[in-house]
A and B are shown apart, each in its own frame.
Chain A
Amino acid sequence: MIKASNVTKRFRSVTAVDNLSFQLAESESLALWGSNGAGKTTLIRCLLGIFPFQGSIAIGGIDVRRSGKQARAIVGYVPQELAFHDDARLGSSILFFAGLRRMDRHAAAKSLETVGLLGHEKKRVRDLSGGMKQRLALAIALIADPPIIILDEPTSNLDASGRGEVVQTLCRLRDQGKTLVFASHRPDEVITLAQRVLVMEKGRLVEETTPSKLWPKDERIQTLRLHISMGTDEAAAEVLRDAGLAVNLNGHGLCVSVPRNRKAEPVSVLARASIEVRDFEILDDVHKATEQGGAEE
C-alpha cells in the first residue's frame, strides 16, 4: 500500500530524513517511533507529498512526487494540532474539506457521527476542547473513507480521557481494515495500535521491529520521565539508547521505558556517563495502560 525507497529530505545543511526505505501492506499499522528531531514529522510530510524530497514514495501505486494530489485523495491526514480558522464553525469547517474531496453533506455528517461529533456543528472551532478538535481532524480525515490514515502524534496534546477516545476510534478503524501510519511517543499507544514500528533517529531508520520486541509483554514495562541538567537532554538520550533502552525525547521531557524491576538502570547508566539525574517520575505501566484501554473498549 505504501512503498518508500531511499527517501531523503534536506533542509539546507540539515538532513531531516536520511535514505529511509520501508514498505507497508494493506490493512497494516505502522508506528514511527523516535525522539524530537528524529524526522518523523518530516517523513509524514514527504509521504503526503507536501515537501519535495529525493527518492521515491508510492501510495496505492501512485507516485507521490508526480501525482501528489491523486495520492492524497486516498489518504486521510490528522495533524498534531488541528490547524484551522478559530472563528469558523465546526459544520462549515468540515463542509469545506468535504468540498475539497467532492463529498456531500451526508458524508460529512456520517464522518462526524463516526467520531461522536454529530450535533456540535454550530460550535466555533475555538470553543472546542483539545479532544474535540482532534476528533474533528479525524472526522475530516475520514470524510472520503480513505483506505490510508496518516497521523502525526494524534494524542500528544490530549489528556488521558481525550487520548483514550482517539485511540479507541483508531482501534476501530484499524479493525475495519484501514492502513494506519502514525507517529507517537507513547509506548502504550504503539502497543495498542501498531503491528510494526520504525525506530528513527536523526532522520535515519535505526531499527524496524514490532511493539512486542521493543516492550516484551512478559516484562512489566514502565515509563519514567527523567529530570536532568539543562542542555544535556540529547547527550543523555544517546547514552540511554546506546545502553539498549527505548528513549523518547520530546517537548514533554526525556522519557525512557524500562522493565518494572530495573527502574534504577537509566539513572546508573547516566551516572556512569557523568550526567546527573535530579529527579524522576513514573508515568505509567505500559502494558497495564494498554490492557485498561482494551477493557474500556
Chain B
Amino acid sequence: MTTLSRAKSLPSVHLSRVASVAAFARREFRDAISSRWFLLYTVAFTVLAVAVSFMSLAGSGSQGFAGFGRTTAGLLNLIMLVVPLMALNAGAGTIAGERERGTLLYLLAQPVSRFELLLGKYLGLAAALCSSMFVGFGLSAAVLAWRAGSVGLTAYAMLIAFTCALALAMLSVGILLSVLSRRSGVATGLGLFAWLILVFLSDLGLMAGTILFKLRVQEVFAIGIANPLQAFKMAVIVNMNASLDVLGPVGMYASQTFGGALPWILAGVLAVWTIVPLVAAIILFNKRGSV
C-alpha cells in the first residue's frame, strides 16, 4: 500500500478550528482566574472601585446628583492606572511563560495551529480580564444603586464598555510583547515599560513637544488620541455628557470639529489598538517558528 493511498484510509483529520480556540480559551480563563495575580488585581480593583463609590456618595450627601456620574469621574483615573497594568501583565506572561516552561512546544505538537493557540489564549485572558472588571464595577454599581438610585447609569455602563475595550487593547500589546520575548521576566519588564510610557511619559512628552515644536491644536489632538489611554479618557468624558472644555483648547477643538462622531472615532482608536498588535503578534508568532 503506498503512503498516499494509506492516507485516504486514515480517519478524518479535519479538526474544528473553533473547537481548538475554545479549548485554549477555556483553559486560559480557568488558569487566569485561579492565579494569584488575577485575584490580587481583582480584589484591589474592587476595593478601590467601591471606595470611590462611597466617597462620591459622601461628597454628594448620598442624594440627588447621581452617584453614578460622580463615581464615573472618580473611577476614570483609577482605571487608567490599574487596568492597563493588569492587561499588559496578563498578556506579557502568556506566550513567554509557556515558552520558558517548555509547555509551548508540547502544545504546538498537538493538532492545533499557532493562530488557534494565540487567539484562544487571547480570548481566554480577555474573558478573565472583563470578568474581573465586572466584579469591581458590579459591586460598585450595587452600592450606588442602593444608596443613590440609577441616575447616570448609562454613562456608567459606557464606562464599563470602554474599560473593557481599553483592557482588550492593552492585552493585545501585552501579547505582542510576549511573542517578542524569550523569557517571561523580559516580557513583563517590557510590559511595565509600555505602561510607564502610556500612563506618564507620553503626557509629559506631549506637553514638552507642544512647547518645543509649537504644535497646532489639531496636531496635539491627533498625537494625544494616538495614546489609547487618552482616547479612553476622552471617550468616557464625552459619554458622561460632560463638556470637553475641561480638556482645554484640544477638547474644544475636538467637540467642535467632530461633534457626534467623536465617540466613534475614539472607539475606533481603541479598536485599532486592539486589532493591530494582535494581528502583528499572530504574524510574528507564525513567522518566527520559535518554541
The chain A residues found within 8 Å of chain B, CB to CB, are 1, 3, 26, 45, 48, 50-52, 58, 60-62, 68-70, 72-74, 77, 79, 81-85, 87, 96-97, 99-102, 147
Enumerate 21 A-B pairs (CB-CB under 8 Å) in ascending A order.
Answer: A1-B3, A1-B6, A3-B3, A69-B13, A69-B15, A69-B111, A70-B111, A72-B109, A74-B11, A74-B13, A77-B110, A79-B109, A83-B102, A83-B105, A84-B106, A96-B27, A99-B23, A99-B26, A100-B23, A100-B111, A100-B112
Chain A at the B interface: SS class? loop
CB distance from A7 to the nearest CB of B (A): 15
B83-114 interface with A by 8 A CB criterion: 101-103, 105-106, 108-113
Set B3, B11, B15, B291: member contacting A45, Cβ < 8 A:
B291
18 more CB-based (< 8 A) A-B contacts, given A48-B109, A61-B4: A3-B3, A26-B1, A26-B6, A45-B291, A52-B289, A61-B8, A69-B113, A74-B10, A74-B13, A77-B109, A81-B102, A85-B103, A97-B110, A99-B26, A100-B110, A100-B112, A101-B111, A102-B15
Contacts of A51 in B (CB 8 A): 289, 291
Nearest Cβ in chain A — how far from B3, in angstroms?
5
Instruction: Known A73-B15, A101-B15; judge A50-B105 contact (CB<8 A).
Output: yes
Is B77 an interface position by the 8 A CB rule? Answer: no
* C-alpha spacing A226/B26, complex, angstroms: 50
**Are A68 and B6 in contact, CB atoms less than 8 angstroms apart?**
no
Contact A79 B6 (CB under 8 A): no
Q: Is the CB of B106 within 8 A of A102?
A: no
* CA of A73 to CA of B4, assembled, Å: 16
B261 contacts partner chain A, Cβ-Cβ < 8 Å: no
What are the residues of chain A within 8 A of B108 when measuring CB–CB?
Answer: 48, 50
Cβ–Cβ contact B3 & A61, under 8 A: yes
Asked if B7 is at the interface (CB within 8 A of a chain A CB), the reply is yes
Asked if B13 and A73 make an inter-chain contact with CB atoms under 8 angstroms apart, the answer reads yes
Are the C-beta atoms of A70 and B6 separated by less than 8 Å?
A: no
CB <8 Å contact, A83 and B19: no
B3's closest neighbor in chain A, by CB?
Answer: A61
Q: How many residues of B contact A (CB 8 A)?
A: 33
Inside 8 A of A101's CB, which chain B residues have their CB?
15, 110-111
A73–B108 Cα distance when bound, in Å, is 12
**Judging by beta carbons under 8 Å apart, are A58 and B23 in contact?**
no
Q: Is the CB of A60 within 8 A of B7?
A: yes
The answer on a CB contact under 8 Å between A79 and B13 is no
List residues of chain B with CB within 8 A of the CB of A102: 15-16, 19
Closest to B120 in A: A100
Cα distance, A62 to B7, chains bound together (Å):
7
Q: How far is the CA of A70 from the CA of B8 in the complex (A)?
A: 13
Q: How many Å from the CB of B244 to the closest CB on chain A?
A: 47
A61 and B7 contact, CB distance less than 8 A: yes
Q: Closest approach, in angstroms, between the C-beta of A111 and any C-beta of chain B?
A: 14
Q: How far is the CB of B114 from chain A (nearest CB, A)?
A: 9
7 closest Cβ pairs, A-B complex: A61-B7, A73-B111, A73-B13, A83-B102, A99-B23, A77-B109, A72-B111
Residue pair A85, B102 in contact (C-beta under 8 Å): no
Q: Hey, which chain B residues are within 8 Å of A85, CB to CB?
A: 31, 101, 103
Q: Are B112 and A45 in contact (CB under 8 A)?
A: no
Nearest neighbor of B5 in chain A, beta-carbon distance: A61
Complex contact B103–A83 (CB within 8 A): yes
Asked if B255 lies at the interface with its beta carbon under 8 angstroms from chain A, I say no
Interchain nearest-CB distance for A114 vs B (Å): 18
A87: which B residues are within 8 A, CB to CB?
34
Answer whether residue B214 sits at the interface, using C-beta atoms and an 8 A cutoff. no
Chain B residue nearest to A86 (CB atoms) is: B101
B62 interface residue, CB < 8 Å from A? no
Q: Are B289 and A70 in contact (CB under 8 A)?
A: no
Q: B14 near A: Cβ within 8 Å?
A: yes
Q: Of residues 5 to 53 in B, which have CB atoms within 8 Å of A's CB atoms?
A: 5-8, 10-11, 13-16, 19-20, 23, 26-27, 31, 34
